[in-house]
A and B are shown apart, each in its own frame.
Chain A
């Protein structure tokens, strides 16, 4: 013991900690100033809830989509759906639609010119003399007969079927756009207020939905979710510290680390001008659990040391305990950071990159605070012994330590069962990983009970669908889109798209041309076709302009009649559903377009989602491999043993397999949230293994315990601290499992599960393996009975 204490007195790290504890006011105020500076930036934070944020701003799919939106003046729509199972064509429902339309038009943030509903839209029909463009609803119907006339007109106008009015008349939409994307949350709120006070006389059910509504509501949703979860996790973690240390100081100081970690990650993110994404709202909650772990280990060591050497000065005890924990704390901080670095490097998605970087910063700050600011603050606070650590029971420990001791006995007595259990997990994990599927829709960010989720289902059921695949048609010359041969190609493309069961309907300028041709040929249904004369088509548009608006066809064709947009509506925005559609459409385009006369390319929400989701599996396994290799290198270097590094990987490896097995069993798909599970779990779970190995090594090499004593001795001391470390992290992620944002909840549950497996494996499989392999880097002598000590690497 004496020698060991002496060793603690020497070395560079010792001097650093002596200096820190010698200047407590300086160090503590420096720390607090840093926290205050970080907090000051937080009000600057902006939220980016859009699905597009998952692709880098310069990604070709996104850049192209933005160009397309600019050319055709597209914005994410918000819709009010009026669903009436008895049909919408009755005077009451039409009046309700008109009332809603007027209310929507009165919202200042709504683009007045882009409000579409049954009562705003014009019909294109012919009479014996010419073309008539008149509103479908010229005056509100009073009788059912009048409503039937409107119904007949709408049903005779193919363009609005499935897009404005359900093909079975069971629903109709009021479609609106906001003037600025940033107004989306306000407009969503106002639409919800409007539908709440709508005068419903019949059996109508109202919904608000659409991409614009989803992103509009999502910001409020994720913020309220985080505001609910952060306090819960802080309270639980503090209670855990109370349980662990039973002193005021021991309970509050870890709180400082939590504050520093969360404030620095979020504050620096704000200072860098990065927005908060759906996925990064989970960061503070995760950091609460991870950041507190270092503090728990150091405080445990402090109270243990205090109980062991009560005669030493307070400063000496602090310096001893911090110095002893410095290496494992630095190492675990580093490995956890590697996990997040894995998230950063493997992902091309800005939210993930942001998540990786700022979590790393938070973890680094947590490490520094645990090693410097906490010891300094401890110097400034009166200290008491912890009831959990007293000299009389340190060796044996409190009830928890005794419990851990019992766990150790049972584990070390049954190595074979442990190994077999581990093998089973591996096999199940491999099977689970092989079945891993990507699936995601932006609306999955909401709980299924949320009105917006219900709205999405209702609208997709009644209408042609809310997810758009856009095909941009490009021709080399102005007015090439008056040419019948080009229009026929577009028409054929639409027929092809509509032949796919996933596609509810398509719209293009060709539909309007056919409608005009029919109107000008006595409304003869057989004239619903493309005319053969390009001049005639151009004159149709002039004729139309005599009563239509100059910007009426903006969404379908550009001003030069050189580019057109074909929009296909899909019932479902999930990758598994739309993947074949995108791929078939691309094949069709490759075979039939892309000549010198006419080209076509894919765009739209569906295509953008396709681009980033199809890369998700790749990036997922890349991230896991990256983190595994890096953690392995760091652990190997730290233990100066490749076997040591490999052993440290065993528990996290098992945890990763277990996660895949669980995902397979529960049918959880790889998506925005879950894709990061394995990498984060790896970085966090490795901590348990490092602490375990460090402790066994320390007991053999420094405390000169025999291997079997060392293995058993692991449990009451480090085992107990690890239990609290585990509980903190587990609860931290577990709280995230309570999130109302399903991707975050899944992420939380899966990581909590992975951490559980890592912890269990670290105190079962890992000691068993050490017992079986007797690795020399830990201090086992060559061969069991050879008594040549190999204390080679205790150099500091």
Chain B
């Protein structure tokens, strides 16, 4: 309840801020992060996700999926059902992300050719997610900013077409965290008009450019700001990931039963 109150409070603050009441004064880093993290993501969402993975030679793998996500309190559950190509049709992936950092996430994959649900050992936070250039941590955060893992500073702001963007620089709190995440530094660009992240730039722990994530086609869907295209460019491997979302639906709710091993086995 307390949590909800602060959320409400900050939301009010956000409204206040966008209505010029903030004046010309720059918000603090903490305020920016709060704005981003309190933005409504919808309690549950269903959508069609097309993953296009491209290797350094330009060869692509296209995977069409139906993806669901729902918050159970602070616990986040995701289910992805593969539709195409045929050889992985009906394969399904289920994950429970626990807010407690010390509790390993649970993950399962259903392989129709084996007719069995396989438990996947807990991935490290820095591991790549299902052959994409996202790490498990990237997927878990979605468009949030972690305050537990990083120290943040405000690098500055700039205007593009009269819209103000903040640039944050995040450095992992310690070497161990950097190693776990696989990142030495992350720069984040935030659109001040809707508090959406538009771009993330990552460096590896040794300071080499690692990857860039671009969020685009950002539109309001049922009152919720939604990036319909998320593209990752891995500078080290030349590998690319392109997520394209469609049929995004926040309003109809998602049945809790979808997030079970029985459901991924049964299919939609």
Residues of A within 8 A of B (CB): 70-71, 73, 106, 108, 112-113, 127, 129-134, 479, 482, 520, 533-536, 538-540, 542-543, 545-551, 554, 558-560
Contact A547 B131 (CB under 8 A): no
B8 interface residue, CB < 8 Å from A? no
Contacts of B112 in A (CB 8 A): 535, 539
Pairs A–B under 8 Å by Cβ, sample size 26: A108-B206, A112-B204, A113-B236, A113-B237, A130-B119, A130-B121, A131-B121, A482-B87, A520-B114, A535-B86, A535-B87, A535-B112, A538-B88, A539-B111, A539-B114, A540-B111, A542-B111, A545-B128, A546-B120, A546-B130, A547-B127, A550-B132, A551-B237, A554-B55, A558-B55, A559-B55
CB within 8 Å for A550 and B118 given contacts A113-B237, A539-B91, A543-B109: no
Segment touching A, from B11-19, B56-64, B170-178, B219-227: B56-64
CB neighbours (8 Å) of A129 from chain B are 118-119
C-alpha gap A129/B109 in the complex (Å): 10
**Cβ-closest chain A residue relative to B55:** A559
Q: Do A539 and B206 contact each other (CB < 8 Å), given the known contacts A130-B119, A547-B127? A: no
Decide yes or no whether B107 CB sits under 8 A from chain A.
yes
Check if B130 sits within 8 Å of A132, measured CB to CB: no
Complex interface residues of chain B between 183 and 214 (CB less than 8 A to chain A): 204, 206, 208
Complex Cα spacing A113 to B118, Å: 28
Residue among B93, B112, B114 having the largest count of chain A Cβ atoms under 10 Å: B114
Option from A130, A131, A558 in Cβ contact (under 8 Å) with B59: A558
B239 at the interface (CB under 8 A from A): yes
Q: Give Cα A551 to B236, complex, Å.
A: 11
A546 near B59 (CB under 8 angstroms)? no
Interface residues of B in 127-143 (CB under 8 A from A): 127-133
Closest A residue to B53 by CB, please name it: A550
Min CB distance B83 to A, Å, is 13
Closest to B63 in A: A542
Q: Which residues of B contact A (CB under 8 A)?
A: 53, 55-57, 59-61, 82, 85-88, 91, 93, 107-109, 111-114, 118-121, 123, 127-133, 204, 206, 208, 236-237, 239
* CB-contact partner of B113 in A70, A108, A535, A550, under 8 A: A535
Contacts of A549 in B (CB 8 A): 127-128
For B237, list chain A residues within 8 Å (CB).
113, 550-551
B114 touches A133 (CB 8 A): no
How far, in Å, is A82 (CB) from chain B's closest CB?
Answer: 24
Whether A548 contacts B87 by the Cβ 8 Å rule is no
Q: Does B204 contact A546, Cβ atoms closer than 8 Å?
A: no
Q: Is A542 a contact partner of B109 (Cβ separation < 8 A)?
A: yes
Give, as a whole number of angstroms, the nearest-CB distance from A335 to chain B: 53
Task: Report yes or no: B57 in contact with A70, Cβ–Cβ below 8 A.
Answer: yes
Closest Cβ of chain B to A88, distance in Å, is: 25
Q: Taking the nearest CB of chain B, how far is it from the CB of A548, in angstroms?
A: 7
- 4 A-B pairs with least C-beta separation: A545-B131, A130-B118, A536-B113, A129-B119
**Is the Cβ of A547 less than 8 Å from the Cβ of B87?**
no
Contact A539 B236 (CB under 8 A): no
* B59 CB contacts on chain A under 8 angstroms: 558-560
Q: Are A539 and B130 in contact (CB under 8 A)?
A: no
Q: Nearest chain A CB to B132's CB is how many angstroms away?
A: 7
A422 to B88, CA, bound (A): 79
**Complex alpha-carbon distance, A73 and B55, angstroms:** 11
Look across to chain A and name the residue whose beta carbon is closest to the beta carbon of B108. Answer: A130
B56 CB, min distance to chain A CBs, angstroms: 7
